[in-house]
Amino acid sequence: MHTIERFSTFDSSIIIIVVLPSEHHQLWRRLCKEHAFEVNHRIVAGGEERFHSVKAGLDEVAQDLAGRRNRSDGAAGEGAMHDSTVGEGAGYDSAAGKGSKADGAAAGGSKADDLLIAIHDGVRPLVSHDTIWRCFADAEEFGNAVPFIEPADSVRVILGDDSRPWQRNEIRLIQTPQVFRGSVIMKAYRRNFNPAFTDDATVAEADGMKIHLTHGNRENLKITTPEDLAVAATLYGMISR
């Protein structure tokens, strides 16, 4: 819910698609009712791997676009599609979408080319509005944007039974949201699953896309352990809108 709110408060016109395991849909609806969570969103069933869950979110976007095209064919002068984004999370995949104007204006026409689709981990509730803005703005200019932070620790590379130091200024730690032009990321996700696909950038790269990196925010951690949750609770009040 906190993750969804980060995107909703950034731009209320964003279309948010939350990808959840089908067996958790009833629980999610109950929790939304219990916590009076009223941010508008859709839910779709996820898949076996992250790849399949993101693809399910993208398929929902494609169906929405097709429906808009059909309605537009039947009614001349229908309004342009509003901003939309897609996102994914560990266990709880979340998807949102935004039009191609980084300032929040509606995109012109109901086409995938007019959309910027942001795929975000549901377990990253501390993404800053600045990071979201940079990702959309850079994707508008470069076709995609993948946020990163630089490692603070020393880095070593494992080579068989040995290890060697590596220059940490050559290493980037990748975050989400990863933002792409709709037509490009939808095409990339038509391929078959490969275990080497660790995020959306690797899927897009396999389809020939050159990845553009942009700055994320260090608080935007991925909550995977109880310790991460405790850190996130402390950091929550510190991130800027």
> What is the distance between the alpha carbons of residues 226 and 184, in angstroms, rounded to a whole number?
37
Closest CA to 222 of 126, 97, 148: 126
Which of 103-107, 117-121, 126-130 comes out lowest in average pLDDT?
A: 103-107
Confidence bin at 106 (pLDDT 50/70/90)? very low
Residues 6 or more apart in contact with residue 218 via CB below 8 angstroms: 149
Range of the domain at 89: 2-238
Q: How many domains does the chain have?
A: 1
For the entire predicted model, the pTM comes to 0.84
Average pLDDT over every residue of 204-216:
97
CATH code at position 128: 3.90.550.10
Contact 60, 67 (CB under 8 A): no
Q: What is the tens place of the pLDDT at every residue in 115-125?
A: 999 999 999 99
User: CA distances (Å), 144 to each of 1, 9, 98, in order?
Assistant: 26, 22, 13
Q: What is the tens place of the pLDDT at every residue in 37-95?
A: 999 999 999 999 999 999 999 999 999 888 877 776 665 443 323 344 555 543 445 54
Q: Give the mean pLDDT of the chain.
A: 86
